């Protein structure tokens, strides 16, 4: 495939979607709100990242690992029976579930560990909620023989025991975060604390398009391969690079940005992000863009679920990967500017989505992906036959079988 997304400095064609600006802002969102001691580290990271993007050797190494280790390009599968089910536009699935480790997250983990090595860092830290980003990070650390510490909420370790075993098997140390709700936001606080203490030799691999500048731009760059591949694959299959509609689930927002970003400058491509509305928008949910308000979490200004005092509220979703009270700042801006539509799907609708994709296409999706399927159920009916929809199949459902079996 082509080169990494090198915006903002090298992408004349995508204005105004070549944000963030040099301070990390997407409109009013983003930025860098971190302890003083991390400011030089983030500056060093920004410089190293910009250099790497323009270094053909880095590009070649990244793309060869994506090909030979991750298994890219991933298939673009025409969903024949799902298309017939809705009776409208032709539906394609971008098969990130076929990536090594079973989801898109490895694209970013590969990119960041190459950057860590280029910067001479010897120790990798990460935080994880459901454990999927922890597994991706532990995987690339094993591949490169690097020390790996993953912070995980004690409660999440209990709920996601299998992923803890995976990380241990891969040689990572999983450290429980025992403060607060003992979930992802507490694990993130612990990871930031570790980074402050060990900033000289430690690289912090963040798992979505969240966190302080330059992470949202950097993680995006390592995932735009998804959308770039879709363009090339649609061109050869349908004779045109652009679909009419793109659909992806949104937790932090990385698989969605990876799919959407290469298409944002073409206004004819309708982009739809699907958040988790859990028990429903009146109950416990994780619909940050739909119901949240602007605030600062994990080093960036974006939409959050917070109470009147600015205390972060607990998110809820049946899908652990969408169960997060924040969202990437670029999505906050894309919502505000109206370029991307954000809708939501409940736990129950997501379970219907799991069944639908499993029974029409023989593909058991991750519960996160099932929210995109539920979004498709809202959008696909009534669309013209000659239109094209691409849905990002962000991950496979094996990891969720226990939850799925209980819910059914
Ligand atoms: C983590 C995860 C997500 C949510 O993360 P984003 O950053 O929003 O992409 C979605 N799907 C799968 C399969 C995941 O593992």
Lining ligand 1 with CB less than 6 A are 103, 105, 132, 208, 249-256, 321-322, 366, 368-369, 394-395
DSSP 103: B
Residue 105 catalytic?
A: yes
Catalytic residue among 7, 32, 94, 105: 105
**The tokens of 336 are what?**
């505000």
Beta strands in 6-156 (DSSP E): 25-26, 29-30, 76-78, 90-95, 123-128, 147-153
Predicted pLDDT of residue 5: 57
Give percent helix, percent strand, percent coil of the chain, each to the nearest 5. 45, 20, 35
Mean pLDDT calculated for residue range 203-213: 97
Tokens encoding 261: 């970003």
pLDDT tens, 46-73? 999 999 999 999 999 999 999 999 999 9
Distance 234 CA to ligand 1 centre (A): 23
330 is known as an active-site residue: no
What percentage of residues in the chain have a pLDDT greater than 90? Answer: 84
Model's pTM, two decimal places? 0.95
For the record, the structure tokens of 295 come out as: 């605030």
Residue 198 in this model has a pLDDT that exceeds 90: yes
- The residue whose CA is least distant from atom 13 of ligand 1 is 395
Which amino acid residue places its CA nearest to atom 3 of ligand 1?
Answer: 321
Phi, psi of 202 (to 5 degrees): -110, 135
For residue 408, name the pLDDT band (cuts at 50, 70, 90).
confident
Among 193, 233, 235, residue whose Cα is nearest residue 73: 233
CB-based contacts of 261-265 (< 8 A; 24+ apart in sequence):
261/5, 261/14, 261/17, 261/220, 261/224, 261/227, 262/5, 262/224, 262/227, 262/228, 262/230, 262/231, 263/227, 263/231, 264/14, 264/17, 264/334, 264/339, 265/13, 265/14, 265/15, 265/17
3-state secondary structure of 322: helix
What lies within 8 Å, CB to CB, of 284 at 6+ separation is 278, 314, 315, 316
Q: Please state, rounded to an integer, the average pLDDT across all residues of the chain.
A: 94
Instruction: Specify the residue with its C-alpha closest to ligand 1, atom 14.
Output: 321
Strands 90-95 and 76-78: antiparallel
**Structure confidence at residue 405 as a pLDDT band (50, 70, 90):** very high
> Interior CA angle at 156 toward 155 and 160, to 5°?
130
pLDDT given for residue 1 in this prediction? 43
Q: Is the pLDDT of residue 13 over 60?
A: no
Distance 394 CA to ligand 1 centre (A): 6
Q: What does residue 227 show for φ and ψ, rounded to 5 degrees?
A: -65, -35
């Amino acid at each position: 495939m082509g080169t990494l997304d090198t915006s903002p400095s090298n992408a004349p064609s995508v204005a105004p979607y070549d944000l963030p600006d040099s301070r990390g802002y997407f409109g009013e969102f983003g930025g860098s709100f971190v302890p003083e001691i991390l400011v030089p580290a983030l500056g060093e990271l920004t410089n190293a990242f910009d250099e790497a993007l323009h270094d053909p050797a880095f590009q070649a190494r990244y793309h060869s690992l994506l090909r030979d280790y991750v298994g890219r390009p991933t298939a673009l599968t025409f969903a024949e029976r799902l298309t017939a089910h809705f009776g409208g536009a032709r539906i394609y699935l971008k098969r990130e579930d076929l990536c090594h480790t079973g989801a898109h997250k490895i694209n970013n983990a590969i990119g960041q560990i190459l950057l860590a090595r280029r910067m001479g860092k010897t120790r990798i830290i990460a935080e994880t909620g459901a454990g999927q980003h922890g597994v991706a990070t532990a995987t690339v650390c094993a591949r490169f023989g690097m020390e790996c510490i993953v912070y995980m909420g004690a409660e999440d370790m209990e709920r996601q025991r299998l992923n803890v075993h995976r990380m241990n098997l891969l040689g990572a140390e999983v450290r429980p975060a025992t403060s607060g709700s003992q979930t992802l936001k507490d694990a993130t606080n612990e990871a930031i604390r570790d980074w402050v203490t060990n900033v000289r030799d430690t690289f912090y691999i963040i798992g979505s398009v969240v966190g302080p500048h330059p992470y949202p731009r950097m993680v995006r760059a390592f995932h735009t391969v998804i959308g770039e591949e879709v363009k090339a694959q649609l061109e050869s299959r349908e004779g045109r690079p652009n679909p009419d509609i793109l659909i992806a689930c949104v937790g932090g927002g990385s698989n969605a940005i990876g799919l959407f970003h290469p298409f944002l400058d073409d206004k004819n491509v309708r982009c739809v992000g699907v958040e988790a509305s859990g028990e429903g928008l009146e109950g416990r949910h994780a619909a940050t863009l739909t119901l949240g308000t602007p605030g600062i979490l994990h080093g960036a200004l974006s939409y959050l679920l917070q109470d009147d005092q600015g205390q972060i509220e607990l998110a809820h979703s049946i899908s652990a990967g969408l169960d997060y009270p924040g969202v990437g700042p670029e999505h906050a801006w894309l919502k505000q500017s109206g370029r991307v539509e954000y809708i939501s799907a409940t736990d129950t609708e997501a379970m219907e989505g799991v069944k639908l994709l499993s029974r029409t296409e023989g593909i058991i999706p991750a519960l996160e992906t099932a929210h995109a399927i539920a979004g498709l159920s809202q959008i696909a009916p009534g669309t013209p036959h000659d239109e094209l929809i691409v849905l990002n199949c962000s991950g496979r459902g094996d990891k969720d079988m226990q939850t799925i079996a209980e819910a059914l």
